[in-house]
Copies of this chain bind each other. A is one copy, B any other.
């Protein structure tokens, strides 16, 4: 059930392809090995209006939040988060080169007592594995 939401300043669209950017995060999340494949969901939200720092410069930002389920210890989460951040950060080098940029990544843990889901992607992936 990992949810990655990337909020970003609209001016980033002129520097990076956001379709590629969410794919970079998806791949990095798979590589950590701690998430069920069928549960990984990465998405980006473009923010047309923003105000940063002193409000004057050619500033931009991308802020990613991962919401994940309970049950992974801190060391596991830190190792996985470090890996994903490193991949995303490298992908954002052009943004740091072309603008003054702030990248951030935080994790939140969902309360399993108030969590509901329905998902037919898991089954679709199993069928692929059997037939593939």
Instruction: List the interface of chain A (C-beta within 8 A of B).
Output: 1, 3, 5, 7, 9, 18-19, 21-23, 25-27, 30, 37-55, 57, 59, 61, 63, 65, 67, 74, 77-78, 81-82, 85, 89, 92, 96, 100-108, 110-111, 113-121, 124-125
Contacts and interface: CB of A to CB of B under 8 A. Distances in A.
Contacts of A18: 48-49
A109 to B, nearest CB: 8
A45 B42 contact: no
B111 A107 contact: yes
Contact of A44 (B49, B59, B82, B125): B49
Contact of A48 (B42, B44, B119): B44
